[in-house]
Structures are given as structure tokens and as C-alpha cells.
Chains A and B, each alone.
Chain A
Amino acid sequence: MSAPQPLKIAEITSLIKEILEGSFPLVTLEGEISNYRPSSTGHLYFTLKDESSAIASVMFKGKARYLPFAPADGMLVRATGSISVYEARGTYQIIIDRMEAAGTGDILRILEERKRSLAAEGLFDQDRKREIPEIPERIAVITSPTGAAVRDILQIVRRRNPAISVVILPAPVQGPEAPPVLVRQLETANRYHMADVIIIGRGGGSLEDLLPFSDEAVVWAVAGSKIPVISAVGHEIDWTLCDFAADLRAPTPSAAAELVCPLRDDLADRVKAAAGALEAGIESKVDRIRLMMASFSRESLEMRFRKIEQPYLLRFDDAKESLLESIGTRIRETRHRVEVLSHIIEGGNPAAILSKGYSIVRDAATGQTIRSAQDTAAGARLHIIPGAGTIRATVEETHS
């Protein structure tokens, strides 16, 4: 029995390559990353391992670019790719096309970490938040044009306020191709100022499905948007990092539309109320002026004039009266004095004395009044004038 013909290394290697690569054109493995060595050219080299085994792994730059997370040693991943044999070294490896973090625990951990680091950059600060316009005229919606989200949003906008325009900026909303488009559409909306407010979001999905909305570049773009952004991803319970960077987080796309669309009827009511207030305002102004003018009517003017005039009239009356009174007093006093004087004068009238029985005796020759016995002598002729008539007499004798 002759020894078998030895195979050349190249031959056996070629056979192994054929068998291996032919048998495993596409496999999905789950394992932990170890010995992670990203190359300067952008390719990622590492080992995937579990409790007992390990496999060399490579992810080339073209695919690695779309990784939704940064790989690191110890990370549990699910990798899909093909087995390839490297003949020069006689080793085999998996060339990975797609890789995602395996197990939500890991994704959440990554997100929490990213959230912390972005928060540390101040991306989620409250004072960065822009105000959502109360009455937008145009809303930009960055989402899939075929998804449930766009349909819900349009329905609600149409129902609440058909005056509002909507521009849809289409973007894939899951998978590695989503983040760059989301970022670009945010930039486009801002560059051409295409709306007063942006809604970015999608309908519900798995944690992995929502990952583009936690992509770092997307989060930065949301935070950097000059147009206010409402994040509306998934359902009430879902959260993404966009929610924190956005100016407002809506629990669902429908809720975002409700939040941003004022009801047309409400606006009409506000216009009516304001117009009513204007009319009432003018009326009350006119009423006030009318009221003010009422105090200038003829009657009230007269009344007011009377009020001013009254005290003067009173004073005048008082003065007149006191004048009259004092004049009366003076007249009475004067009259009294006249009376007194006339009495006195009357008392001095010789006739009055004569009527009381006195007589005036005059010398008949000289007419001199005889005031003493010495003024005459016996034989002298006298004129005696009593109260009535005259008497002629002759003096018989005198005594001193």
C-alpha cells in the first residue's frame, strides 16, 4: 500500500475555502466583542466570542459607516455576514455586513451613556428650547412618506385647521440609512426656511427601529435647528434622544399634530372676542364722554352757575339789610334827639311860661324888661304881658 499522494497546502486550503464559504454564505451570530481594533482606514477588526469559542471578525469601512452604535469590547452583538477563508494564513473569519447590539439591555445601556454625554454637552438644556409657534402657517414633517405617522398627522391637520400647510420631507425612519437623511432634511428645512415648526418622527416600532432617532448626528441636528422641532417618535412609552433635544416632545405623531395645530374654530372665536372687545371699548368710551358732556348741559351749567352765584347774592342781601338797618337806626336816633331838643326848646318858650301864670313886665317908655324892683320907680308906666292880652299899669311904690 503506497502512501497517498500528499496534497499541496494550497489545494487543501482551497478545498476548505470552497466548503466553508459555500456552506455559510450568510450566517447570523450572537456574541461578545473582544479585542476590538478599529483600523486607521476605517475597517473594524475584532473577535466575536461566547463562553467556549471565538471567531475572527471584520467589518469593512463601507458597512461600518452605518453602524448605529460604537462597538466596544464586552458588547453583546448580533452580526450577520459570510464566512471567508484567508488562505495566506489558513484562518477563517466572518465578514460582517450588518451588526446590531443584541438584547435591549445593551441598547438601553448605550443610549443611557449617549444621553449622559450629550446632556453633558448641554444639548438638552432647557434654555436652548425654542418656543413652539402658537399659530404656525406651515409645518414641515420629516418622516417616511408612506408611514402611518404622516397619514395621522395629515388627517389631524386637515381636521383641526385646513388653513395650515404641510410640507413633507421624506426620510427613511429605520435602519442605518435613516440618520444621514434625517439630518439632511433637518438642514434643508432650515436652510430654505420651509416651515414655522418641524415635526420629526415615526410610528411605533421596536427599540432597534427607533434607534435612528437617538443617533448622535440626528440629535445634534435637532438641537441645532433654528426652526422649533417637535419630536414625535413611536408611542407614549417610547423615548429617543431626539425627545430630549427637541423643543417639545409629543408622545405620538398624532399628538404632535394636535399640539401644533390650533383649532380653526378657536382662532375664529378669538377674532370674534377681540372684535367684540373693540366694539365694547369704543362704546364705553363714547358713553363716558357722553356722561362727561352731560355735566355741561344748559340745566347743569345753570345749576352750577347758581351755586357759584348764591353766596354772593346772600352776601349782597346781608349787606343791603345791614345797611338799611343801620340807616334806620340812625334815623330813629336822630328823630329821638330832635324830639328831645324840641321839648327842651319848647320848655324855653316864654309864651308857655306866661300861660302858667307868669307875666312879662316891661317899661312902657323904654320897652326894657323889668327884672328887679330897682329897674323902675313909683309913677312909672308899665306894660304887663300875661299869657293872653296886655295890661297897662302904673307903679305905686317899689321895695328892694
Chain B
Amino acid sequence: MKKIGERLERLESLSDAIRDPEVALEDALAIFEEGIKLARSLEKDLDRIEGKIEILKNTPAAPEDKPELDLFSAGSDDD
């Protein structure tokens, strides 16, 4: 799955393309289909995706180490 930004960019370029009077109806329909699918999936993702807050736990040294991440809690939120 491509990133939200890339997909949104694609969607906006599709919505520009469909306005071009030179685009044939068949092409416009293909654009429409792709665009609407993209819009639905983006709407769903925007509602659904919850970002993670993590913290780097180690000091990885390439190439053998990988970064170790842990969920981060910032303590109380209201201070």
C-alpha cells in the first residue's frame, strides 16, 4: 500500500485529468473508477489509521544491529 500522501497526490492528479475535455470517455471512466476507489480507501484509512508513538531503545550499529523500538508513554498528558 502506497503512502497516504502519494495516494492523495495521485487522486488529485486524477481529479485534474478528468476535467480535461480532450480525455476520451473510456479513459475518463477508467480515471473515475481508479479515483473513486482511491478516494474510498483514503477516507477509510484516514478514519482508521492510528499512528504509533515509539521510542528507540538501543544504539544500533550497522549492519548487524537493527533499531529496537518500544511503545513510548509520555507519562501524564496534562502537566
Contacts and interface: CB of A to CB of B under 8 A. Distances in A.
Interface of A: 133-138, 145, 150-151, 154-155, 157, 161-170, 184-185, 188, 191-192, 194, 196, 264, 267-268, 270-275, 277-279, 281-282, 285-286, 288-289
Given A135-B5, A185-B56, A168 B11 contact: no
Interface string B19-57: 101010100110110011001001101100111111110
Given A134-B5, A154-B74, A167 B56 contact: yes
Given A162-B51, A274-B12, A264 B46 contact: yes
* Chain A interface main SS type: helix
A285 B25 contact: yes
A303 B15 CA distance: 39
23 contacts: A137-B5, A151-B74, A154-B53, A162-B49, A163-B46, A163-B49, A164-B51, A166-B51, A167-B53, A170-B56, A194-B56, A194-B67, A267-B4, A275-B36, A278-B31, A278-B32, A281-B31, A281-B32, A282-B18, A282-B32, A285-B18, A286-B25, A289-B25
Interface residues of B, number: 43
A161 B42 CA distance: 14
Given A151-B74, A282-B32, 4 more contacts: A166-B54, A167-B54, A271-B46, A274-B14
Contacts of A273: 15
Given A188-B67, A268-B43, A275 B54 contact: no
Contacts of B77: 151, 155
A264 B44 CA distance: 12
A165 B32 CA distance: 31
Interface string B46-73: 1001111111100110100011010010
Nearest to B50: A162
Contacts of B46: 163, 264, 267-268, 271
A82 B19 CA distance: 78
A35 B11 CA distance: 68
B57 to A, nearest CB: 9
B66 A192 contact: yes
Given A271-B42, A278-B31, A278-B32, A135 B51 contact: no
A294 B56 CA distance: 67
Contacts of A288: 21
A270 B23 CA distance: 23
Contacts of B12: 270, 274
A231 to B, nearest CB: 19
A49 B22 CA distance: 82
A143 to B, nearest CB: 11
A273 B43 CA distance: 12
Nearest to B32: A282
Given A184-B59, A188-B60, A281 B18 contact: yes
Nearest to A284: B19
Contacts of A184: 59
Contacts of A194: 56, 67
B27 to A, nearest CB: 10
Contacts of B69: 167
Contacts of B74: 150-151, 154
A135 to B, nearest CB: 3
Contact of A275 (B21, B23, B39, B51): B39
Contacts of A279: 32, 36
B9 to A, nearest CB: 8
Contacts of A162: 49-51
Contacts of B62: 191
Contacts of B56: 167-170, 185, 188, 194
Contacts of B51: 137-138, 157, 161-166
**What 5 A-B pairs have minimum CB-CB distances, sorted nearest first?**
A281-B18, A135-B5, A277-B15, A275-B39, A165-B51
B7 to A, nearest CB: 9
A134 B60 CA distance: 29
A194 B68 CA distance: 11
A271 B8 contact: yes
Nearest to B13: A274
A168 B53 contact: yes
B53 A166 contact: yes
B25 to A, nearest CB: 6
B3 A135 contact: yes
A307 B76 CA distance: 85
B35 A275 contact: yes
